[in-house]
Each structure stands twice: as structure tokens, then as C-alpha cells.
Structure 1
Amino acid sequence: MSVSDRFQRLRSSRGADDPPPSIEAESRAEHAARATVRGLQAGFVATLIMTAFRLPIMRSLPPSANFWAQYVSGGDPEEHPIAGLVLHVLYGVQAGALFGGLFALLDAERSIEAEQRGLVWGSVYGMALSVFGSQVMLKELLDIRLEGDELALFHAGHLVYGLALGAWVGSRTEGVRDPGKEYEYGDGN
């Protein structure tokens, strides 16, 4: 039986407009709110991990220090390390909240392997943020052009962010479980 056949069978067995079994006990708004909080937490942790990865390699502040210097306070970006780091964390937390909400809404009907899906979607999301950051934020907004090796490390940092984000959100996303079955660590979800 194909995946689409199973999906249609599931939809017809419980009604196309019914919420997935994993969130029947709570409203969609409550489910999305909890997922967004998970994303906030994940965004914070993933930003710390990305920053710890990037700082020793690139030996420079995140480009958010450039944003702060250019649009808020003036002066040299190196004069604003704390503001640049705080702004970078805020970007990461907000992006994490968005990812958490999207992951819950788009992935709510899946029941197994949330961790693996989190890693895949987190990687895609991290790279999408990286492309947006390099093309829009750096080139257009800040007029910064990274050299090839710097750009590769910029993308690598965002891939690390996406992996950490997806791992956190995926590992904390409840799947659809059979309420009458006892689960042990490692069997399914």
C-alpha cells in the first residue's frame, strides 16, 4: 500500500477535518503555542551552538554587529560585540520559534521518527536561513560580500544551527501513540 493510500485511509477513518490523534486533547492553537515555545528553546540552544562553532573558526563577530553599527548606533562593528551577540541570539530565537510552529503544523500527522524528520527539516531550514542571510541581509542590507571560504563557513554555521534546531524540536515533538500500548525507549517514538 502506498503512502498516499495509507494517508487517504487514515483521513477517511477519522474524517478529513478532524485533528490528528496526537492533538485531539488540545486545540490546534494550544498545540501550535507549545510547539512555538519548543522552537524558542531550540532557537536559543541552536544559536549558542552555532556561535560556539563559528567564533573560533571565523574569528569575527556575527554580522548582526554590523547591522547594529550601521542602523542603530553608528561606529565600527567591533565596538558593539555585546549588542551584536544579543541581536544574533534574538534572530536565532525568533527563527527557532517559527521553525517550531511550522514543524508542528506541517508535521502533526506523522507518528514516528520525529527526530529524523527534525534533522532533515532543520537542515533545510538552516540552509534557507543562510541563503536569506547571505543574499538579503549581507549583500542587500549591509553591503557585505563574503569571499568563497567565508561564505562556505557562513553556510556551515547555519547548517549546524539547523541540525541543532531540528534535533531539539524533533526530539521533543510528540508523535501519535497508541494510548493502550506501553512503549520502551527506542521502539518507534
Structure 2
Amino acid sequence: MASNATNGFVGGLFSTVVMTAFRESISLSYPPTAEFCAKFLGGEPNDHPVGAIALHLLYGGFAGSLFAIAFGDGSNSALDAETEGTIGGLGYGLLLSLFGERVMLGRLLDMTLEEDESIIFHAGHAMYASRSGRGSVRGRNYSPVSASLAGENEIVEPNPSSQAFW
């Protein structure tokens, strides 16, 4: 379980970087964690760029750990591991996104996202989750690094003694 949690944390960090890069490319603001930092540390959201990114990465890593602990061993479904992980990851990501929008932003920070911001928020979490879920089930080692080293369409099978999440 500790191995799943550690590997899930690393996978969550990577997925958060992907999600943040997507978000930053179309939204000219820091992640909502900047609002969190401003509320609890004082100042304005733009005063906390490093804190906002660090907290965002920490949230993402923690969420990746939870996903890996809960779903890292896969299920007995007839789906292949990547399909099962992607579908499970998308469901998990949408739950995270709804929790983030309703609880973290809505109740904790008293924020309401505008429609376009909400779409970007949910789309970013879907990207996070599909990346997290893809490599998470049944001990598959399907990392973006190993996939790129093997070639665009080739899946790298894990070392049987490895319990790697990524």
C-alpha cells in the first residue's frame, strides 16, 4: 500500500503539471489555490504565485495517492488495464472537480466560477484524471517517459518484480 501511495503521489504530481499547463495556456490567472493562500496568508492572490503552485502540486499528489491506493490493484472487469484505469480515472477526476468547485471554492473560499472558468476547471480535472488513471491499475508501468522511449504506439510492460505506479 505504501508503494501505491508513493507512486500515486508522483503520478499525481505529473498529472497536476499536465493539468496546470493546460489551464495556464488558456487562463491568464493562477490556480484557485492562489485564492486559498491569499485568504489564509493575507494579501492578494497574485502575491502568492509560488505558494499557489506548490499547494496545487501538493493537492494533486495527495489525490493521486488516494486514487492509487483505492484503484491500484484494478478489478476483475473484462476491460484492459488502460481502459479500466482511464474510465475509473475520469470518474474520480469529475468527483474531485465537483468537490473542488462546490466545497473548496464555493464553501471554503466563497468563490463562484463564471461559466467559462467552470468549464476550464472541469476540463483540466478531466485531463488530470485520465492521465492518473491510465497508468494506475494492475501494477502496469505505463509512464509517459517509458512510452516515449519505446515509440509512439508501443506499451512497455513492467518488470514483474516492480510495483511501480508509473
TM-score, length of structure 2 as denominator length? 0.80
Compare CA radii of gyration and give the structure with the larger one: 1
Identity of aligned residues (%): 40
Closer, same or farther: CA 87–109 of 1 in aligned 2, 3 Å: same
The 8 Å contact of residues 119 and 170 in structure 1, kept in 2 or not, is answered as: no
Closer, same or farther: CA 40–111 of 1 in aligned 2, 3 Å: farther
In the alignment, what sits opposite 2:81? 114
Aligned length: 145
Give how far 1:110 is off: 5.5
In the alignment, what sits opposite 2:120? 153
SS in 1 for 2:111: coil
Aligned match for 2:8, one of 13, 24, 39: 39
Distance 1:36 1:83 in 2: 23
Per-residue deviation, residues 75-129 of structure 1 (Å, max 9, x unmatched): 0010100100000000000000000000125x25568611111100110111100
Closer, same or farther: CA 139–112 of 1 in aligned 2, 3 Å: closer
Aligned match for 2:61, one of 70, 84, 93: 93
Instruction: Determine if the alignment matches structure 1 residue 168 to structure 2 residue 135.
Output: yes
Give how far 1:37 is off: 2.0
Instruction: Determine if the alignment matches structure 1 residue 56 to structure 2 residue 25.
Output: yes
Report the residue type matching 1:36 in the other structure.
A
Give how far 1:144 is off: 0.8
RMSD over equivalenced CA pairs, Å: 2.3
In the alignment, what sits opposite 2:102? 135
- Unaligned 5+ segments in structure 1 are 1-31, 175-184
**Paired residues for 1:71-90 under 5 Å:** 71=40, 73-90=41-58
Closer, same or farther: CA 82–171 of 1 in aligned 2, 3 Å: farther
Instruction: Determine if the alignment matches structure 1 residue 102 to structure 2 residue 70.
Output: yes
Report the residue type matching 2:8 in the other structure.
G
TM-score, length of structure 1 as denominator length? 0.70
